[in-house]
Amino acid sequence: MKGVTIHNFCYSYFKVCLLVMSLAYGSAEWDGSSSQIAKTIIVNPNDARYFKTVQSAIDSIPLQNQDWIRILISNGIYSEKVTIPRGKGYIYMQGGGIEKTIIAYGDHQLTNTSATFTSYPSNIIITGITFKNKYNIASSSSPTKPAVAAMMLGDKYAIIDSSFDGFQDTLYDDYGRHYYKRCVISGGIDFIFGGAQSIFEGCTLKLRVGIYPPNEVYGTITAQGRDSPTDKGGFVFKDCTVMGSGKALLGRAWKSYSRVIFYRSMFSDNILPIGWDAWKAKGQEGHITFVEFGCTGVGADTSKRVPWLTKASEKDVLQFTNLTFIDEEGWLSRLPIKF
């Protein structure tokens, strides 16, 4: 009986410790359900009991994992490239906040190899982490090249209270359904690009055009890659804020059926009056869906926008701004976090 009492005490103490750590790690909280989180592992390079790198913690997770495993990442700067490989889904990466837990590297040249963070499997949660590609922001004199901070390649991702920092091609949001909430995304050229089906809610898009590097006259926020009328992809920005330095377009069409929607968002005077560029879809402007609805701020004046800017009713827009655009089956409500 005494042994059982000690066991119960240790187990209760362990749960209390995890709860205290959870409350310290970002504003999205684990809901405490033992049936949801099967295991918690910790990254702390200053404590011999724990993993020293983020990648070593990911490597410890078995292939074909089907249970949510939480990786608590202690505050600090982790100078490493991190990859979640195929077959290692159901990972919840939890940091201490975007100013506190930073994964940074400086690779560049190619969009598909330069990413500081790459995630392949489905079912991933990220909270309270900054992913940074230091190239072009660490040295403004370097020539502009693709330098990805994060490459998202799986389905059913929730990224909350996190940050993506770079200059060209910061966030490669390429495949799957993704929900970004209260995130900060910084860059200058096509810094949110790819073919994913994503909602960005309450996010801040920070321009650094004209500063890093100084030879760029104006930048572009999005380069969406929807390539057919049946492709479900598209970027939806809901209640977001655009701010920063320099001038930029809201987006340019990377592929023929590019789709980007800004809804109830605030634009500073950084946005160029023309707003958009057909780019790779020149001559096919009728296929492009670029929408601004209910936006405010100096940069939201559409009187000088491109003549082919999509005219959409509120009913049309709401089918994209509603979470059902990425979540018809209710996967977001089944996640082991509250946000």
Half-sphere exposure of residue 121: CA atoms within 13 angstroms, side-chain side: 20
Omega before residue 213 within 30° of 0, cis: yes
Residue 28 has pLDDT above 60, yes or no: yes
Quickly tell me which residue has 């966030």 as its tokens: 171
Looking at 155, 165, 173, 190, which residue is catalytic?
190
Output the CA torsion 28→29→34→40 (10° steps).
Answer: 80
**Would you state the structure tokens that stand for residue 178, as one six-digit string?**
């993704």
CA-closest candidate to residue 105, choices 72, 137, 71: 137
pLDDT-derived band at 262, boundaries 50, 70, 90: very high
Residue 31 has pLDDT above 90, yes or no: no
Residue 36 has pLDDT above 90, yes or no: no
pLDDT (0 to 100) of residue 209: 86
Do strands 29-30 and 337-338 pair parallel, antiparallel, or not at all (unpaired)?
A: antiparallel
pLDDT (0 to 100) of residue 212: 64
Average pLDDT over residues 229-258: 97
User: Is 116 annotated as ligand-binding?
Assistant: yes
Residue 50 has pLDDT above 60, yes or no: yes
Cα three-residue angle 102-107-110, rounded to 5 degrees = 130
pLDDT (0 to 100) of residue 141: 66
Output the CA torsion 212→158→197→57 (10° steps).
Answer: 70
Active site residue 67: no
pLDDT above 70 covers a percentage of the chain that reads 87
Residue 76 has pLDDT above 80, yes or no: yes
Ramachandran quadrant class, 192 (left: phi over 0; alpha: psi -120 to 50; beta: rest):
beta
CA-closest candidate to residue 232, choices 206, 259, 264, 211: 259
Do strands 68-73 and 189-194 pair parallel, antiparallel, or not at all (unpaired)?
A: unpaired
- Alpha-carbon distance 248 to 190, whole Å? 10
Do strands 234-238 and 247-253 pair parallel, antiparallel, or not at all (unpaired)?
A: unpaired
DSSP, collapsed to helix, strand or coil, labels residue 332 as helix
Report the greatest alpha carbon distance in the chain: 80
- Alpha-carbon distance 153 to 260, whole Å? 19
Average pLDDT over residues 20-24: 42
Domains observed in the chain: 2-338 (2.160.20.10)
User: Is 68 annotated as ligand-binding?
Assistant: no
The runs of H, that is alpha helices, within the chain are 2-24, 54-59, 314-321
User: Is 204 annotated as ligand-binding?
Assistant: no
For 306-327, the DSSP string reads -TTPPP--HHHHHHHHSGGGT-
Looking at 155, 169, 174, 277, which residue is catalytic?
169
pLDDT in tens, 101-142: 999 999 998 999 999 999 999 999 999 999 999 998 866 667
Residue 14 has pLDDT above 90, yes or no: no
Q: What is the DSSP letter of 156?
A: S
Output the CA torsion 119→234→278→257 (10° steps).
Answer: 110
State which H helix or E strand residue 163 sits in.
strand 163-165
pLDDT-derived band at 339, boundaries 50, 70, 90: confident
Active site residue 169: yes
pLDDT in tens, 276-326: 999 999 999 999 999 999 999 999 999 999 999 999 999 999 999 999 999
Among 151-160, 205-214, 222-231, the minimum mean pLDDT is found in 205-214
Whether the model pTM is above 0.85: yes
Residue 13 has pLDDT above 50, yes or no: no
- Alpha-carbon distance 171 to 187, whole Å? 9
Output the CA–CA distances (angstroms, integers) from residue 151 to 44, 63, 95, 189, 303, in the order listed: 24, 20, 18, 16, 35
pLDDT in tens, 171-220: 999 999 999 999 999 999 999 999 999 999 999 999 998 766 666 689 99
CA-closest candidate to residue 277, choices 221, 204, 216, 228: 221
- Alpha-carbon distance 65 to 267, whole Å? 42
Residue 10 has pLDDT above 90, yes or no: no
CA-closest candidate to residue 279, choices 176, 193, 164: 193
